[in-house]
Structure 1
Amino acid sequence: MTPAARVSAAIEILDQVISGDAAERALTTWARGSRFAGSKDRAAVRDHVFGALRCWRSFAWLGGGDSGRAIMLGALRAASIDPATIFTGEGHAPPLLGPDDHAGQPLDAAPLAVRGDMPDWLMDQIVADLGDQAETVCALLRHRAAVHLRVNLSRAPRDHVARLLAEEGIATQPLNNVKTGLQVLENERRVALSTPFLDGLIDLQDSASQQAVARCAITSDMRVLDYCAGGGGKALAMADRGAQVFAHDIEPKRMADIPVRAARAGVNISCLETLALTRNSPFNMVFCDSPCSGSGTWRRAPEAKWRLTPDRLAALNTMQDDVLDQAAGLVAPEGQLIYATCSFLTLENRARIDSFLARTPGWQVVDEMQLLPSAEQDGFYLAVLTRR
């Protein structure tokens, strides 16, 4: 595919997203109907689509509209590429530029929410939460996130794993903020097929999540429950620290991959359904990676910020309160309750902790961590609570 044909494909997919289709589903539908597209073509089209999702409002402003065509016009202008070199109408290129294609405006004249690529209501919330850091954080979320790996230190030292990856053409560098972390510099798409990955020496996990687990005082004699385990990334990290780890999720099917992942990593994790929690409690530590907006990870899942509404955020707050209330009863008398989200929104973080403390006497916060999205990590929040 030519560069122009890739832009045409992205326009088609973005129009599907605008009509209500999920981006991943629209990409899959396009790929199945475009057998001529090679792996590099599919990767390039995907990058176009996800770049547009990260920068939807600013690209629309630059492109002069909200159609897939206008969005891609804005993307080209943002990259200082003359749209006339792509919109040629030749072969599979987009049709020639017309009068309506020149309606875009310079970005420096745009409102803050447009420059920050956020819904208006959400930009107001972010400014209230982050103050003068709001623009910096929003600017970071407009770019693709780095790929981070977690090294299973019980299996091999980090520098040894880095050398093994380098032998397979995967360049990495150590993460300075966590001793288990590596950042992939080259050939990230090879990681899942590499020998260190298949042998369970590494797993994909952002630096922020690694820092959260490192912050927890986990010892080999502890019984730890990952209460909202999902795919089990944090459960695996805690098991590598030597604890006896249990995993639970309100939707058990989300944990389907945990046994395979645990076997590959050489650790044991017991998956518990809800009815089994009480008879297996109490636990020395209950880690609640609560459902949230995922604002700290919007570089990786940019569609989520456009799907979030005030009502959806309020519903998430209710779920977060329920998670804390239910998990607290599973903690041993001198144990720890850990509350975490991959969000930087106060309503999902400290506000939920304050609400819990107000309605649940006898608990106290003994540690707290707030990470904002940066070049080194996603956004993340963690609070450690114990009984007084």
Structure 2
Amino acid sequence: MTPAARINAAIGILNDVLSGQPAEQALLSWSRKSRFAGSGDRAAIRDLVFEALRRRDSLAALGGGLHGRGLMIGLLRANGTDPATIFTGEGYAPETLSADEVTGGVPAAEATNMHDLPEWLWPQWQASLKEDALSAAHQMRSRAPIWLRVNPHKADPATIRDQLAHQGIETEKAPQSATALRVIEGERRVSGSQAYMEGWVELQDLSPQLACEMLPLSTGIRVLDYCAGGGGKSLALAARVDIEVTAHDIAPDRMKDLPARASRAGVEIKIAPTSPIDKKYDMVVADVPCSGTGTWRRTPDAKWRLKSDDLEAMIETQAQILRETAPLVRSGGHLAYMTCSVLERENEKQADNFLLHHPDFSEIARERWLNPRGSDGFFLSLMQRN
């Protein structure tokens, strides 16, 4: 496909997304109907769609309208390309620009200063991030880096870097972590690499890696990953030291790949039933459902689908999970409350409210990560039962 044909395809997909269809679903639907498109075409179109969604409002302002054409016109202008050179109407290119499209759009400086967040959320974002609010919002307009976690059960980071380089995957070490590698070239080769297939590395963002590294672990302790999902944190903790890790999730299907991943990584993860857990644990990790505001570089359409009612429901769910997990922590044990949110109401205020109503717990560490200290937005409140 030509660059113009790719942009034309992105226009149609974006119109579907703006009509309410999730981005991944819209991309998959287009791909199934477009068997002529090669893997390079599909990847390029995906990049166009996600780039447009990360900067939806500012690109719409630049392009003169909140629709597929407006977003692509805005993206071309933002990148210094005259849209008329792409919108030619020739072959599979988009139709030529209308008179309104030629003259429409705000000045580039005005678009640059927009926050590209839902208007209803912006006051909460500002209250949470204070003077860093706009810069943090602008971070969400860029593509997220790919991070790997080296599995120390299998190899050391230097060996892994060399092995990946032989397969065309260039990495750099993170100064904050001994086992975190940032992929700087060849990211699409990772999932097919020997290092990944044999469990030498796992895909995991830097921020949750740093959060897991902060948790106090010692040989033989019992750890419960209460909202395990795919099990990334279970694997990260089991790789650090010889401990007993149990994974639990209210939706067990989310953990269906975890046994195979654990076997590949050379660690043992127990899968807990969905019924109430009546044991006591030395460490309970609760990476709770949240707004995902810290991960919007990776899931930009989620930014625009989140509603105020959704956030309120999540905040109540978070409080409920904290109430459920507190009794599972043994005396002297730890409760690690985590989110991938940057919002104070889901993070600091949620932890403060729990501590207020649970005087038998005290907070021993509190961290919030965001680039450049971390990568994705992430929060940890580490509490100990007295």
Using the size of structure 2 for normalisation, the TM-score is 0.97
Matches within 5 A, 1:230-249: 230-241=229-240, 242-249=242-249
Give the counterpart letter for 1:320 in structure 2.
Q
- Hey, what does 2:307 align to over in structure 1? 309
Per mean C-alpha deviation after superposition, the further-off stretch among 93-102 and 355-364 is 355-364
- Hey, what does 2:160 align to over in structure 1? 161
**TM-aligned CA deviation for residue 100 of structure 1:** 2.3
Q: Helix, strand or coil for the counterpart of 1:348? A: coil
Per mean C-alpha deviation after superposition, the further-off stretch among 372-381 and 243-252 is 372-381
Deviations 1:134-177 (A, max 9, x none): 11111111000110000001221110111111111111111111
Number of aligned positions between the proteins: 384
Give the counterpart letter for 1:104 in structure 2.
G
Give the counterpart letter for 2:173 in structure 1.
P
- Hey, what does 1:10 align to over in structure 2? 10
Deviations 1:246-281 (A, max 9, x none): 000011111111001001101100011232511xx1
**2:331 aligned residue (319, 330, 333):** 333
- Hey, what does 1:105 align to over in structure 2? 106
**TM-aligned CA deviation for residue 361 of structure 1:** 2.4
**TM-aligned CA deviation for residue 68 of structure 1:** 0.6
Per mean C-alpha deviation after superposition, the further-off stretch among 263-272 and 354-363 is 354-363
- Hey, what does 1:286 align to over in structure 2? 284
**TM-aligned CA deviation for residue 109 of structure 1:** 3.1
Deviations 1:181-204 (A, max 9, x none): 001111111111111111110000
Deviations 1:351-371 (A, max 9, x none): 101111222222111111111
Per mean C-alpha deviation after superposition, the further-off stretch among 209-218 and 116-125 is 116-125
Whether 1:366 aligns to 2:364 is yes
Q: Helix, strand or coil for the counterpart of 1:231? A: coil
Unmatched runs of 5 consecutive residues or more in structure 1: none
- Taking a change above 3 Å as real, the CA distance of residues 235 and 35 of structure 1, as seen in their structure-2 partners, is same
Deviations 1:69-88 (A, max 9, x none): 11111111111110000000
- Hey, what does 2:40 align to over in structure 1? 40
CA contact (8 A) 1:296 1:373 kept: no
Give the counterpart letter for 1:50 in structure 2.
F
**TM-aligned CA deviation for residue 97 of structure 1:** 0.6
Deviations 1:42-84 (A, max 9, x none): 1110000000110000001001111111111111111111000
Per mean C-alpha deviation after superposition, the further-off stretch among 321-330 and 95-104 is 95-104
Matches within 5 A, 1:256-267: 256-267=256-267
CA contact (8 A) 2:330 2:385 kept: no
**TM-aligned CA deviation for residue 375 of structure 1:** 8.1
- Hey, what does 2:217 align to over in structure 1? 218
Using the size of structure 1 for normalisation, the TM-score is 0.97
Matches within 5 A, 1:106-125: 106-109=107-110, 115-125=114-124
**TM-aligned CA deviation for residue 108 of structure 1:** 2.7
**TM-aligned CA deviation for residue 373 of structure 1:** 3.6
Alpha-carbon RMSD across the aligned residues, in angstroms, is 1.3
Give the counterpart letter for 1:27 in structure 2.
L
> For 2:158 and 2:276, how far apart are their aligned partners in 1?
40
Give the counterpart letter for 2:302 in structure 1.
A
**TM-aligned CA deviation for residue 376 of structure 1:** 4.8
> For 1:179 and 1:208, how far apart are their aligned partners in 2?
13
- Taking a change above 3 Å as real, the CA distance of residues 290 and 344 of structure 1, as seen in their structure-2 partners, is same
CA contact (8 A) 1:61 1:107 kept: no
Deviations 1:186-223 (A, max 9, x none): 11111111111111100000000100000001122110
> For 1:333 and 1:358, how far apart are their aligned partners in 2?
18
CA contact (8 A) 2:153 2:265 kept: no
- Hey, what does 2:255 align to over in structure 1? 255
Q: Helix, strand or coil for the counterpart of 2:145? A: coil
> For 2:266 and 2:20, how far apart are their aligned partners in 1?
42
Q: Helix, strand or coil for the counterpart of 2:275? A: helix
CA contact (8 A) 1:148 1:204 kept: yes
Q: Helix, strand or coil for the counterpart of 1:386? A: strand
**TM-aligned CA deviation for residue 17 of structure 1:** 0.7
CA contact (8 A) 2:289 2:314 kept: yes
> For 2:109 and 2:383, how far apart are their aligned partners in 1?
45
